Amino acid sequence: MKDYKLLTPGPLTTTDSVKQAMLFDRCTWDDDYKQITQKIRQQLLALAAASPGAYTAVLLQGSGSFGVEAVLTTCIGREDTCLIITNGAYGQRMVKMAEYLGLHYIVCQVPYGQPADAATVRLLLEANDAITHVAMVHCETTTGILNPLQEMADLAKAYGKTFIVDAMSSFGGLEIPVQEWKIDYLISSANKCIQGVPGFCFVLARTEALAGCRGQARSLCLDLYDQWQCMEKDGKWRYTSPTHVVAAFSRALDELAAEGGVSARNRRYRENNKLLREKLKSLGFAPYIAEESQSPIITTFLFPYSDFDFNRFYHYVKERGFVLYPGKLTDADTFRIGNIGEIYRQDISLLGDIIEEYMRAEHHEHN
């Protein structure tokens, strides 16, 4: 199989050393492995600028969606009502989870191309005293839009609501001071901006909030409270954990620190994204999201012309070393390019050259 780099929002291209961390088989009951788990929990709190005691980190088997559902099922009581702000597929997934779980919820539906609006949310909070929780996605990879996290967190706190954020594609790549912004629950995943591999997710929770959730979960495996209690004792996961993935993530956290932390990684991602958008704009690809709302994680581009053959384009680029991402919209023909992971300026420059070659060949063929 031909080797290629992933220009996707996760899974993503990892370093050789992260891959090598998975070559050793570990025992879940062994103290060395438990220490890795505890090290990860401490490092995650440090990345979030959250003090141990006030906040806690809980690791959970499964993809990021498992973490989101664990928070919803554990932390929203039977008498509670959650306001779900959605402007993409992952906000909609929260709504679907709420349906499955039988939660009381209200949806704030925002057009996919626009960021969440504080004024609209404020009106909903004013009009609905029953709302106890507010949930939203920070970076909606459906489009690459970045929602105003601090503004929404401040609004939730001003109205005394518990605030839940899916920071799947932003945590580790953007500065998120969880404690300062008074975020109650932040969910992210091993295979995103921290640049590990898929297999588990994690929740950074305000300890006092999570401590009040005993017995609320409607699922055994997704009981975040029980998972937390087990980890607090000695670093043990309740059920079999993805040991190789955990070791890789521990290595990835160390490499994030070595790169210079979140600020340095954010700088690299932003430079990648700026170069990508500039190059594709010059080749006739317009972005779907306005620049002021664009995240540095993934960008959605409109097809450059009506009969653009994405499948052909995708395979042309893949054969030359890069995998892109199809679009996820219903109202426009789009595709997406991620620029996170072990990706640098030279990769984006090379991609630009490949796309330019493709467009030149297509132009020649059409004429």
**Domain span at 327:** 5-9+261-366
**Runs of H (alpha helix) within the chain:** 16-20, 31-47, 64-75, 89-101, 118-127, 149-158, 207-211, 224-234, 243-259, 261-282, 310-319, 345-366
* Same domain? 238 vs 267: no
In tens, the pLDDT along 62-100 reads 999 999 999 999 999 999 999 999 999 999 999 999 999
Domain boundary (192, 225, 258) is at: 258
The predicted pLDDT at position 260 comes to 98
pTM passes above 0.95: yes
In tens, the pLDDT along 169-213 reads 999 999 999 999 999 999 999 999 999 999 999 999 999 999 999
With cut-offs at 50, 70 and 90, classify the pLDDT of residue 367.
Answer: low
- DSSP class of residue 179 equals T
Q: Region 14-27: what's the mean pLDDT?
A: 97
> Could you tell me the CA-to-CA distances from 174 to 177, 307, 354 in Å, in that order?
10, 37, 29
* Same domain? 230 vs 286: no
Residue 53 confidence (pLDDT) above 70:
yes
Say whether 1 sits in a helix, a strand or coil. coil
* Same domain? 237 vs 283: no
* Same domain? 200 vs 328: no
Say whether 270 sits in a helix, a strand or coil. helix
* Same domain? 140 vs 285: no
Domain boundary (258, 283, 299) is at: 258
- DSSP class of residue 17 equals H
Average pLDDT, the chain: 96
Tokens for 54, please give them.
Answer: 């006030």
- Torsion on CA atoms 254, 5, 333, 294, rounded to nearest 10: 30
> Could you tell me the CA-to-CA distances from 66 to 72, 217, 328 in Å, in that order?
10, 13, 21
Domain boundary (223, 258, 293) is at: 258
What is d(CA 223, CA 137) in angstroms, rounded to the nearest whole number?
21
Specify the CATH number for the domain of residue 87: 3.40.640.10
Core vs surface per residue 112-133: b (16+ CB within 10 A) or e: bbebbbeeebeebbeeeeebbb
Q: How many domains does the chain have?
A: 2
In tens, the pLDDT along 106-157 reads 999 999 999 999 999 999 999 999 999 999 999 999 999 999 999 999 999 9
